[in-house]
C-alpha cells in the first residue's frame, strides 16, 4: 500500500513530531535508500573499532543506530543495548568521543573556520553523521 508512509508521517509530519515528543526520541523519516546508506556508513565506521565484536556492530546497525546516535551516546546510554557488555559500551563511547574530538579539531583548524558551519564540518569529517 503506497499511502501507508504518508499516513504514518501525518499531515506536515505531525504524527512524527507527536511520536518524538511522547517517546523523547529523535525520529528521522527517510527513504529505504537513505536508511541503507546510513547503515552502510555506520557499519564502515564501526568496523574500524577493534574492541567491538562483529555481532555487536551488526546489532547496533540492525537496531537503527547511526553515527550521529552513537556520537550523542555515553556509556550509560549504550548499556541499554541488549547484550552489550560494559567493556564494549565503554570502548565504543570512548572511541566515538575521540573521533568527535578529532573532527572538531579538524574543523576548527580548517583554513577558514566559519562558526556557522562548524557543526556541519564536524559531521562531514566524521563521514556524514
User: Are 16 and 29 in contact, with CB atoms under 8 Å apart?
Assistant: yes
Q: Are residues 50 and 101 in the same domain?
A: yes
Q: What average pLDDT does this structure show over 10-36?
A: 83
Instruction: Return the pLDDT at 96.
Output: 78
61 and 17 together in one domain: no
Cα–Cα distance for residue pair 54/80, rounded to 1 Å: 18
Mean pLDDT of 59-70: 83
The kind and range of the H/E element at 89 are: helix 86-108
Whether 82 and 118 share a structural domain: yes
| pLDDT at position 129 over 50 | no
- 45 with 20, same domain? no
The reply to whether 40 and 3 lie within a common domain is no
**Full domain range(s) for residue 108:** 31-125
Whether residue 43 is found in the same domain as residue 87: yes
Q: Are residues 104 and 87 in the same domain?
A: yes
Higher pLDDT, 127 or 106: 106
Contacting residues for 14 by C-beta, under 8 A, at least 6 apart: none
In a shared domain, residues 55 and 93: yes
Residue 24 DSSP one-character state: T
Same domain, 73 and 90: yes
Verify that 21 and 67 share a domain, yes or no. Answer: no
Do 3 and 40 belong together in one domain? no
Percent of the chain with pLDDT over 70: 81
Average pLDDT for residues 87-100, to the nearest whole number?
A: 82
Split into its structural domains, the chain has a count of 2
Predicted local distance difference test score (pLDDT) of residue 30: 79
Amino acid at each position: 500500500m503506497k499511502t501507508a508512509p504518508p499516513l504514518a508521517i501525518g499531515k506536515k509530519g505531525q504524527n512524527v513530531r507527536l511520536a518524538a515528543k511522547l517517546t523523547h526520541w529523535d525520529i528521522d523519516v527517510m527513504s529505504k535508500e537513505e536508511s541503507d546508506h546510513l547503515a552502510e556508513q555506520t557499519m564502515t565506521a564501526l568496523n574500524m573499532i577493534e574492541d567491538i565484536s562483529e555481532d555487536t556492530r551488526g546489532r547496533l546497525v540492525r537496531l537503527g543506530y547511526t553515527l550521529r546516535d552513537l556520537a550523542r551516546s555515553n556509556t550509560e546510554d549504550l548499556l541499554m543495548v541488549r547484550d552489550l557488555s560494559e567493556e564494549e559500551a565503554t570502548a565504543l563511547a570512548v572511541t566515538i568521543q575521540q573521533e568527535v574530538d578529532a573532527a572538531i579539531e579538524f574543523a576548527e583548524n580548517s583554513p577558514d573556520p566559519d562558526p556557522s558551519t562548524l557543526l556541519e564540518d564536524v559531521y562531514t569529517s566524521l563521514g556524514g553523521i
